[in-house]
Amino acid sequence: MTIQMVDLKSQYLKIKNEIDAALINCVESTRYIKGPEVKQFEENLGKYLGVNHVISCGNGTDALQIALMAMDLQPGDEVIVPAFTYVATAEAIALLKLTPVMVDVEPDTFNIDVNAIEQAITHKTKAIVPVHLYGQSSDMEPIMKLAEKHKLFVIEDNAQALGAETVFSDRTIKKTGTIGHIGCNSFFPTKNLGTFGDGGALTTNDEKLAERCRMIASHGQKQKYYHETIGCNSRLDTIHAAILNVKLKYLDSYIAARQKAAEYYYKNLSELNWLTLPNKATYANHSFNQFTLKIKNGKRDALQDYLKQNGIPSIIYYPLPLYKQPAFQQYIPYNFKLENTETLCSSVLSILMHTELTSEIQDKVIYTIKKFEN
Ligand SMILES: *Cc1c(COP(=O)(O)O)cnc(C)c1O
């Protein structure tokens, strides 16, 4: 038996009848673009998240781009992002001729450091894009306060955290992606709610922003063939909406399965002093899209090689800080360096985490990790 990083096949087989019926129904309806399933999914997701407006789109990267376009920023305006994230977060900013300003993350939660945001704010700053990395909420309460004080937009990159929650100091709980002005979601197959291809959605409680996002995603038109603004063509295909309508019903059980698998790792790996298990922030209910270790003593790459030799896959999210990527050099000051980001890039390792993990597979992963000569 080969062990895979994710097991989408087993997940599908458990709901095969429902999915297959939804797919065939969609194929036979021939309403492949903007079919009724799309609107239904937007309603369902809105209800699930407790948010007023959901605008589906082509993928998570498009969602980020559409969100920024909806805010009507000017070339050269600055948008603050964590330096330790997937490229898409900063790519959309640069694509729109805005300036990505990269700041450090916290070493324990891997998420954007609120103090670092504050230090990076200038008169050109217009927005902050916190990323709920690996499925855990950023510290949204102080981020929203800071944004309010400086009149900044907050766009949550919720691609890895759909279904996760933020816990506020008064104990209210909100789903990530519904706290900032706009939340950006991805339905890439391996995300918390994945389709059989690409898909994305924006979420907001702001009616004006919702209207602008919907218009931008549809060639800048509200009415067919009347184009008010330059937009793009970014749609969730009906077939993906049909799949997502089925899978959304299981999202909570998928997250529960991830959390259960995470607890099993916590229970069985905590004695190893040469690695650090992921931190669970008091202000967050972690959805564990990833389970990411920090490996001490420069042994990360050796551990990954050793696991691979023993048939156990693992992935490094992310090996390079965004500011070291050739694509972003024009935005980076000479000798720019962020301590925590660099340390994480050389020490993180995400191990097996998915909705179908069995304790047998986890036992093999745990046994093998424990035997690593170090
Ligand atoms: C996956 C991801 C995206 C982009 O989503 P796509 O649907 O693949 O375009 C953006 N940001 C983060 C943090 C992601 O993990």
Rounded CA separation 15/245 (Å): 12
Looking at residue 374, its pLDDT comes to: 65
Looking at residue 350, its pLDDT comes to: 98
pLDDT cut 90: percent of the chain above it: 99
User: What digits encode the pLDDT tens for the residues 129-170?
Assistant: 999 999 999 999 999 999 999 999 999 999 999 999 999 999
CA dihedral 32, 53, 68, 80 (to 10 degrees): -130
Residues touching ligand 1 (Cβ under 6 Å) are 59-61, 85-86, 88-89, 131, 157, 159-160, 186, 188, 198, 200
User: What digits encode the pLDDT tens for the residues 245-276?
Assistant: 999 999 999 999 999 999 999 999 999 999 99
User: What digits encode the pLDDT tens for the residues 322-355?
Assistant: 999 999 999 999 999 999 999 999 999 999 999 9
The phi, psi pair for 197, rounded to 5°, reads 165, -145
Looking only at the bridges linking them, the beta strands covering 78-82 and 125-128 are parallel
Looking at residue 373, its pLDDT comes to: 80
- Domain 251-373 homologous superfamily, CATH: Aspartate Aminotransferase, domain 1 (3.90.1150.10)
Radius of gyration over alpha carbons of the chain, in Å?
21
Rounded CA separation 290/281 (Å): 15
Mutate to test the pocket of ligand 1, among 81, 87, 160, 236 (most ligand atoms within 8 A of CB): 160
Residue 308, pLDDT above cutoff 70 = yes
Residue 38, pLDDT above cutoff 90 = yes
Looking at residue 1, its pLDDT comes to: 76
- Average confidence score pLDDT of the chain: 97
Q: How far is CA 192 from CA 8, 54, 251, 309, 325, in A?
A: 11, 17, 7, 28, 27
**Residue among 315, 311, 310 nearest 373 (CA):** 310
Q: Which atom of ligand 1 is nearest to the CA of 160?
A: 15
Rounded CA separation 307/210 (Å): 46
Amino acid code (one letter) for 320:
L
Span from the CA of 262 to the centroid of ligand 1 (angstroms): 22
In this prediction, residues 297-309 reach a mean pLDDT of 97
User: What digits encode the pLDDT tens for the residues 101-121?
Assistant: 999 999 999 999 999 999 999
For the whole model, what pTM was predicted?
Answer: 0.98
Q: Are 370 and 26 in contact (CB under 8 A)?
A: no
Q: Are 244 and 195 in contact (CB under 8 A)?
A: yes
In this prediction, residues 214-235 reach a mean pLDDT of 96
In this prediction, residues 45-71 reach a mean pLDDT of 98
Q: Report the CATH fold assignment for 8-102+111-248.
A: Aspartate Aminotransferase; domain 2 (3.40.640)
Mutate to test the pocket of ligand 1, among 56, 61, 93, 290 (most ligand atoms within 8 A of CB): 61
In this prediction, residues 200-219 reach a mean pLDDT of 98
Indicate the domain borders of the chain: 8-102+111-248, 251-373
- Same fold flag, 8-102+111-248 and 251-373: no
In this prediction, residues 207-219 reach a mean pLDDT of 98
Supply the DSSP string of 46-110, one letter for each residue. HHHHT-SEEEEES-HHHHHHHHHHHTTPPTT-EEEEESSS-THHHHHHHHTT-EEEEE-B-TTT-
Nearest Cα residue to atom 13 of ligand 1: 86
Looking at residue 138, its pLDDT comes to: 98
